[in-house]
Amino acid sequence: MSELAGQVVFVTGGSRGIGRACVLAFARSGAKVVLAYAGNEAAAAETARLAAAHAVPGAVTLTRFDVADSEACHAAIDQAVTDHGRLDVLVNNAGIAIDGLLLRQKEDDLARQFAVNVQGAFALCKAAARPMMKQRAGAIVNLTSVVGEMGNAGQTAYAACKAALIGFTKSLARELASRQIRVNAVSPGFIDTEMTAGIPEAQKAQMLLMIPAGRLGRAEEVAEAVLFLASPRSSYITGEVLRVNGGMYM
């Protein structure tokens, strides 16, 4: 996708799983990628190393901060713009899930999930919107979840966060469309990542019965959807939720 050559892309939660797949996809497309991560330096460095095999040297740079810290979010975006002179794409992928039935959930767990999954995206979008508005161009892609659309027992807080991101995406799309900034979301189903690797086989078999495609998705398949929504190929698409779930929710 040569349309992204030379563009500056900021990806949160980029060290592993779907985030890593996004970083690699953008790097292969010729973009300059700022990989944001929370704490796993080894995983972040490994992602940068993998990207180097398919991209120009220095295509991926690393930045470490907690997306739940609004000031850190603004500082990271500002630094990326200072370093590269612009910001073309923001991918809000960072997220956490603290599972548990409602009656066992602690309020601190709810607050932490909203701080990372919703407040973080809010702060990063607010910071990124300023340089994008000056450019009169930009694309924002928020990672939500099938759980935010259909619900899931034991994930009331996580589902609430992901549902909130859908409403946030649609509202922000309306606010920024006149400045030629598109805002969309990608909603993955059950994807084969470290997060799903620990699911017991019996439970995984039950999950597969809910998926018409009969398999878990791959992180690379989600990354392709993100790449599409970030590229000029989706130039007339904004405020949409692109589902990558094997037909689990239609």
Query: In tens digits, what is the pLDDT along the chain, a chain of 250 residues?
Result: 577 999 999 999 999 999 999 999 999 999 999 999 999 999 999 999 999 887 777 799 999 999 999 999 999 999 999 999 999 999 999 999 999 999 999 999 999 999 999 999 999 999 999 999 999 999 999 999 999 999 999 999 999 999 999 999 999 999 999 999 999 999 999 999 877 776 778 888 888 999 999 999 999 999 999 999 999 999 999 999 999 999 999 9
Collect all residues with Cβ–Cβ distance below 8 Å to 207 and sequence separation of at least 6. 190, 199, 216
Cβ atoms < 10 Å from Cβ of 141: 26
Q: What is the pLDDT of residue 56?
A: 73
DSSP SS3 for 138 = strand
Strands across the sheet containing 241-244: 60-64, 32-37, 8-12, 89-92, 138-143, 181-188, 241-244
- Report the b/e string of 217-247 with b at 16+ CB within 10 A: bebebbbbbbbbbbbeebeeebbbbbbbbbe
Name which of 214, 234, 236, 216 is nearest 226 in CA terms.
234
**Token pair of 87, please?**
């910001």
Cβ atoms < 10 Å from Cβ of 181: 23
Catalytic residue numbers read: 158
Instruction: Give per-residue pLDDT as tens, 92-140.
Output: 999 999 999 999 999 999 999 999 999 999 999 999 999 999 999 999 9
Q: How far is CA 178 from CA 3, 173, 181, 184, 232, in A?
A: 22, 9, 7, 15, 16
Q: Does domain 2-242 have CATH number 3.40.50.720?
A: yes
DSSP SS3 for 33 = strand
- What's the CA gap between 92 and 145, in Å, rounded? 12
Q: What is the pLDDT of residue 111?
A: 97
Each domain of the chain, given as residue ranges in start order, spans 2-242
Q: What is the mean pLDDT of the chain?
A: 95
